[in-house]
Amino acid sequence: MRGKSLLWAGSLLFLTGTASAQTPAPAGPTPPPSALPAVTGTPAPAAGVPDACAQPAPCPQPALGCAPGGSCLPDGWGNSRNDGRARIWGSAEYLLWHINGYNVPPLVTTGPAQFPVGVLGSAGTQVLFGGSDVNEGWYSGARFTIGAWIHECRRLGIEADYFFLCERNGGESFNLPVLTRPFTNGNTGAPFSEFAAFPGISTGGISINAPSELMGFGIRLRKPLCCGCCWNVDLLGGFQYLSLEESLTITETGTFAPNAPFPNLAGRTFVVTDQFATENHFWGGQVGLEGWLRRGDWVIGLRALVALGTTHQEVDIQGSQVVTDAAGAVTTSQGGLLALPGANIGRVERDVFTVVPQVGLNLGYQVTPRITLFAGYSFLFWSNVVRPGDQIDTVLDVNRIPNFVTSPNPVIPPRPANPFKQSSLWVHGLNAGVGFNW
């Protein structure tokens, strides 16, 4: 507009001077000075021409890889270099992330067909499940991001993202001639076991179901802080939500022979279920920085965020036994083996302060003015979460186990307990995707 104004003013002076030298004054009275239009300042733009946003001046000497005349504009995946017209951006990514597992005590054992059978520490006892981490490994998932500049001069933007990891089940099933479930007899303090299968007495199996799901979403504002010809740093701030839902369910089935040496078990079929379910829901405020550096068609981006807020923790422990006798009559009892009434059965919840830092590093290549392919590494840490394996107490009061042996020595305080133990979640891995803008 300034160049046009100078050209307009120069033309006016040139035309005025020419008229004074060569063109006679028109006939008639001269209008009074008050009727002449005042010519001061820069003339207003012509009707219908919008005012341009005030953009920083181009780089006088662009850095290596920058196109001449590049302007200082915020950038993003898929955003065309040196083009301030893009208002909306987004990306879609494939995630291959590794999650740390949770530890579980020995839950299923086998051993020689002799009593005591499957007891921890006994000769020949082999742990089939437990004593190690569950659900540790690589998960596939996806992440989607969408954003837009809400200020026409690109001084403030808003973006949202959503990610999820596909459910993974770390459980197993076992069908062997000898199958047992070990625990500690809290009444005597000695190692003990319950058997689901034993030659000549019972046949059965044990299955463990252990699903795990992680997802999250966020919404934040983006404010450019500083930039150069081919780099920029943005301030991010907003809201973050995370959800981790896991459970561990042990299902034991057993059918006792009609001549089993236990009168209360002979000819009966048992289904014993213990379930330990946990939920974690995080809500908090998030703040961080994101920076970009371009060299020709290559771009590298680094994002660092931290969220502070509250995690709502829930632990739900349930157990049951369903017994069908030889005549087909069904009896249901509350309490399985590791989840017992009057002890740890029930739902408990609480809120705890939580810190969730995140880091992401990406390298991309701009294949068209509007599309960028990129790949990188992501890391997320979530403090103070509850996970199923940490809620299992294997010290039991045998008097509380339905259809089991009894003891004259009660356990005080009641066992098993609900420890409501918390730990931390680590998530890290690779991501690859496509960015775009329009």
pLDDT digits (tens, 9 = 90+) for 239-259: 999 999 999 999 999 999 998
Q: Tell me, yes or no, whether 40 lies in a domain.
A: no
Q: Tell me, yes or no, whether 64 lies in a domain.
A: no
Q: Write out the two tokens for 161.
A: 């993202």
Rounded average pLDDT over 203-211: 96
Asked if 286 contacts 305 with a C-beta cutoff of 8 angstroms, the reply is: yes
Asked if 157 contacts 141 with a C-beta cutoff of 8 angstroms, the reply is: no
**What's the confidence (pLDDT) of residue 15?**
32
Number of domains in the chain: 1
Q: Tell me, yes or no, whether 101 lies in a domain.
A: yes
Q: Tell me, yes or no, whether 205 lies in a domain.
A: yes
pLDDT digits (tens, 9 = 90+) for 325-377: 988 999 999 999 999 999 999 999 999 999 999 999 999 999 998 999 999 99
Q: Write out the two tokens for 329.
A: 């009559």
Neighbouring residues of 182: CB distance < 8 A, sequence distance ≥ 6: 106, 107, 109, 118, 119, 120, 125, 191, 192, 193, 394
User: Which of the pair, 129 or 40, is modelled with greater confidence?
Assistant: 129
pLDDT band at 261 (very low <50, low <70, confident <90, very high): confident
Rounded average pLDDT over 209-217: 97
Q: CA-CA distance, 18 to 162, in Å (whole number)?
A: 69
Using a CB cutoff of 8 Å and minimum separation of 24, what contacts does 60-65 make? Answer: 62/229, 62/230, 63/228, 63/229, 63/230, 64/295, 65/230, 65/294, 65/295, 65/296, 65/298
Task: Write the CATH number for 199.
Answer: 2.40.128.100
Q: Tell me, yes or no, whether 226 lies in a domain.
A: yes
**What's the confidence (pLDDT) of residue 265?**
85
As a whole number, the mean pLDDT across the chain is: 84
Q: Tell me, yes or no, whether 34 lies in a domain.
A: no
Report the candidate in 218, 220, 221 with the shortest Cα–Cα distance to residue 240: 218
Count of CB atoms within 10 A of residue 11's CB?
Answer: 10
Q: CA-CA distance, 140 to 159, in Å (whole number)?
A: 24
pLDDT band at 260 (very low <50, low <70, confident <90, very high): confident
Domain that holds residue 384: 88-437
Q: Tell me, yes or no, whether 65 lies in a domain.
A: no
Q: DSSP assignment of 380-405, as one string?
A: EEEEEEE-GGGG---EE-GGGSTTS-
pLDDT band at 86 (very low <50, low <70, confident <90, very high): low
In three-state secondary structure terms, 152 is coil
User: Which of the pair, 40 or 270, is modelled with greater confidence?
Assistant: 270
In three-state secondary structure terms, 12 is helix
pLDDT band at 13 (very low <50, low <70, confident <90, very high): very low
Asked if 432 contacts 93 with a C-beta cutoff of 8 angstroms, the reply is: yes
pLDDT digits (tens, 9 = 90+) for 55-77: 444 444 433 334 443 334 434 44
Q: Tell me, yes or no, whether 39 lies in a domain.
A: no
pLDDT band at 176 (very low <50, low <70, confident <90, very high): very high
Give the CA count within 13 Å in the CB-facing half-sphere of 57.
3
pLDDT band at 264 (very low <50, low <70, confident <90, very high): confident
